[in-house]
Every structure is written in C-alpha cells, then in structure tokens.
C-alpha cells in the first residue's frame, strides 16, 4: 500500500515509517520539523520506498499519485510544546486535519487521526472507556491541545458521514521509547535525562497522579491494525498498567542511580489526576494488547538516552 504520513519525523511517526517499510509498504513522509527531527528518519534516507518532504500540513498538500492510506500524526504532543505554541497546536487539529482528510477524500483512501487520552481531560470515569465524553476545561492552558484533538475527531466523523471517507480515530495514551527528544518536557525523557546527568528528579505535585506508559513498538502495532480496520469510532491505544508519578520517579532513579534525590515542584494547572486506558475495545476488534513490559521498554529507552546524553 502507499501511505501518506504527516508528522513522520516525530517520535511515533518515525517508528511508524519503520514499521510500514518493514511490512513492504511505500511511505511518503511529511513534517515541518517544528518538534520532529530529521535525525529520527536519517536512517531511511535513500530507501527506495521512502520519500520525505518538508511540508507544513496546515497548507494544502497536492499529490500526483493516489494514496491508499493517509495517517495524520502531525501535532505538538508535549505539554511544554503546546503551551509554547498554542495556535499552531489548534491549527494541527483543525486546518491540518482538514487538509489531510481532503487528500483521503480525493484518493478514496483510508484515514487515521491520532487523537489522545487528553480528549477525556481530567477524567471522572476510571479507567477511561471510549464511550466516556470527558471532562475538559475549554479555556484552560491545556485546552489548545484537548479541544484541538476533540475538534479533529468531530471533523473526522463529519468527513466519514458527509463524504464516506474510511476514517479511524486512535486515542493514544502516554507512550515512550527511543527518539523522544531529551528536552521534550514529558515525564519519561525528563526523569531519564535528570537521572543520567545525576540531577534530582522533579516530581510535580505530591506525585500521586497516575499515568500508564505504553512502549512505542506496541503503540505502532495498534495504529497499523486500527488503520486497516473498519472501526469508525474512537479506539483507545495504551498500556493499562497504571502507576503514580512518584512510583515512576522511584523506578527510574533505581534503574539509573539509586542515590539521587527526588524533589517536589508545584503541580501544573489542570494536570489530570488519573489516567489509564480501558483497552477492551482494542482487544476485541483489533486483537491488540501491549506485549512489552515497563522493564524491557525502559531498558531500551534508557540505552537510547544514554547515547544522546554522552554525545552532549
């Protein structure tokens, strides 16, 4: 199949390119490198079935040869980045999503949007099931991301209903692995970076808030299965193994340098208190569930970050 991937030089996008190429597909990759990095796809340069274009998908994309599938990943996914670029973040869910949907409509291609667990906001239902509509502050600091993704979901359903586009919606929960940027600001690279440099680990709040971390290889497998499925409504993709952020800090500290202190900083506004996916739907309709445990995934991730920190 011929795939168009937006956000292809990002953390998840680059792993998705690897997987699709390994499966024998052709990949046309787009990125404007606002948070993605050419380094993430440098190893694919010269691959006969891979083409990379510097393109901002808030601008229309015109292609000469039809695509079989359009996967729209372009987005600023880290709170640090969407706080710094709220308007671009809203644009990636709105204008950019529409541009990518237009390609899928013209080509009669499959379409996948990577939505987010943030669509549930600070959830009152736990674990989060796809039928829960969420608890989102529409004017809070995270709203540029949450509402952008919720709008993107609505736009995607509208293209399905009005134009019959074969759309799918992935709600991605916290994901980690090699190729996250060291200065990404999210908790996994932040703690690993701090631990490798021998600095205190910075826990926000009292660390009792929970997250559930999915290894990127598992996540990408779920995305591929979903993109090829006929499910039109959102599907959660994530690892249901939930832990507190304090437990996670202790885990990273013990894995890298058990003598490091953990320090506490103020909790950012609207930081969700609990997050864990209910993945019954993905298990049932995609036959998917995560296979990589936290120990194995973090070993690979810490190994990757160790090389990066050593090079600085």
Q: Provide, rounded to whole angstroms, the least separation between the CB of residue 194 and ligand UDP.
A: 8
Spatial separation of the C-alpha atoms in residues 182 and 229, rounded to whole Å: 34
Q: At what angle do helices 294-311 and 245-256 cross, to 10 degrees?
A: 60
Q: Is position 242 an interface residue for ligand UDP (rule: CB under 6 A)?
A: no
ω into residue 127 within 30 of 0, thus cis?
A: yes
Q: Provide, rounded to whole angstroms, the least separation between the CB of residue 211 and ligand UDP.
A: 5
Using CB under 6 A, which residues numbered 68 to 87 contact ligand UDP?
79
**Which range of residues in 2-10, 34-42, 148-156, 200-208 is near ligand UDP by CB under 6 A?**
200-208
Q: Provide, rounded to whole angstroms, the least separation between the CB of residue 81 and ligand UDP.
A: 10
**Which range of residues in 50-58, 151-159, 203-211, 276-284 is near ligand UDP by CB under 6 A?**
203-211
User: Which of 139, 180, 137 shows the shortest CA–CA distance to 308?
Assistant: 180
Q: Provide, rounded to whole angstroms, the least separation between the CB of residue 68 and ligand UDP.
A: 32
Residue 145 vs 288, nearer CB to ligand UDP: 145
Q: What size, in residues, is the chain?
A: 312
Q: Is position 190 an interface residue for ligand UDP (rule: CB under 6 A)?
A: yes
ω into residue 177 within 30 of 0, thus cis?
A: no
Residue of 82, 120, 145, 215 marked catalytic: 145
**Which range of residues in 39-47, 146-154, 197-205, 233-241 is near ligand UDP by CB under 6 A?**
197-205
Spatial separation of the C-alpha atoms in residues 114 and 61, rounded to whole Å: 19
Q: Total number of residues binding ligand UDP (CB under 6 A)?
A: 13
Q: Provide, rounded to whole angstroms, the least separation between the CB of residue 202 and ligand UDP.
A: 4
Q: Tell me the three state secondary structure of residue 136.
A: coil
**Which range of residues in 28-36, 89-97, 204-212, 232-240 is near ligand UDP by CB under 6 A?**
204-212
Among 270, 271, 289, 300, binds ligand UDP (CB under 6 A): 271
Q: Is position 236 an interface residue for ligand UDP (rule: CB under 6 A)?
A: no
User: Which of 196, 165, 161 shows the shortest CA–CA distance to 309?
Assistant: 196
Task: Determine the distance from the C-alpha atom of residue 111 to the mean position of all C-alpha atoms in its chain, rounded to a whole number.
Answer: 16
204 catalytically annotated: no
Q: Is position 186 an interface residue for ligand UDP (rule: CB under 6 A)?
A: yes
Q: Is position 211 an interface residue for ligand UDP (rule: CB under 6 A)?
A: yes
Among 37, 58, 137, 202, binds ligand UDP (CB under 6 A): 202
Angle at 17 between CA 16 and CA 18, to 5 degrees: 90
Spatial separation of the C-alpha atoms in residues 194 and 191, rounded to whole Å: 5
User: Which of 293, 291, 295 shows the shortest CA–CA distance to 255?
Assistant: 295
Q: Residue 237 in contact with residue 279, Cβ under 8 Å?
A: yes
Q: Residue 73 in contact with residue 12, Cβ under 8 Å?
A: yes
Residue with the CB atom nearest ligand UDP in the bound state = 186
Spatial separation of the C-alpha atoms in residues 124 and 95, rounded to whole Å: 30
Q: Provide, rounded to whole angstroms, the least separation between the CB of residue 230 and ligand UDP.
A: 30
- Supply 93's token pair: 């869910």
- List active site positions: 145
Judged by the rule CB under 6 A, the positions of this chain that interact with ligand UDP are 79, 174, 186-187, 190, 202-204, 209, 211, 245, 268, 271
């Amino acid at each position: 199949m011929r795939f168009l991937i937006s956000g292809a030089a990002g953390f998840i996008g680059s792993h998705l390119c690897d997987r699709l190429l390994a499966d024998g597909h052709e990949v046309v990759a787009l990125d404007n490198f606002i948070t993605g990095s050419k380094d993430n796809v440098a190893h694919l340069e010269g691959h006969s079935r891979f083409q990379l274009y510097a393109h901002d998908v808030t601008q229309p994309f015109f292609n000469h040869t039809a695509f079989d599938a359009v996967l729209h990943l372009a987005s600023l996914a880290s709170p640090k980045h969407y706080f710094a670029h709220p308007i671009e973040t809203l644009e990636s869910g709105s204008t950019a999503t529409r541009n990518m949907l237009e390609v899928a409509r013209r080509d009669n291609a499959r379409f996948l949007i990577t939505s987010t667990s943030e669509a549930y906001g600070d959830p009152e239902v736990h674990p989060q099931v796809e039928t829960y509509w969420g608890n989102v502050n529409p004017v809070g600091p995270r709203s540029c991301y949450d509402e952008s993704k919720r709008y993107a979901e609505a736009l995607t359903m509208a293209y399905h209903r009005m134009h019959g586009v074969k759309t799918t919606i992935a709600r991605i929960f916290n994901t980690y692995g090699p190729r996250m940027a060291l200065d990404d600001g999210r908790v996994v690279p932040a703690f690993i970076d701090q631990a490798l440099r021998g600095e205190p680990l910075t826990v926000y709040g009292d660390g009792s808030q929970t997250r559930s971390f999915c290894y990127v290889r598992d996540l990408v497998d779920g995305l591929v299965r979903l993109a090829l499925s006929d499910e039109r409504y959102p599907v959660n993709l994530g690892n249901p193994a939930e832990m507190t952020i304090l437990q996670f800090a202790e885990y990273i500290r013990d894995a890298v340098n058990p003598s490091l202190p953990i320090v506490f900083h103020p909790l950012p506004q609207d930081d969700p208190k609990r997050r864990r996916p209910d993945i019954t739907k993905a298990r049932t309709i995609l036959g998917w569930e995560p296979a990589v445990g936290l120990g194995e995934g973090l070993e690979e991730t810490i190994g990757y970050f160790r090389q990066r920190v050593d090079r600085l």
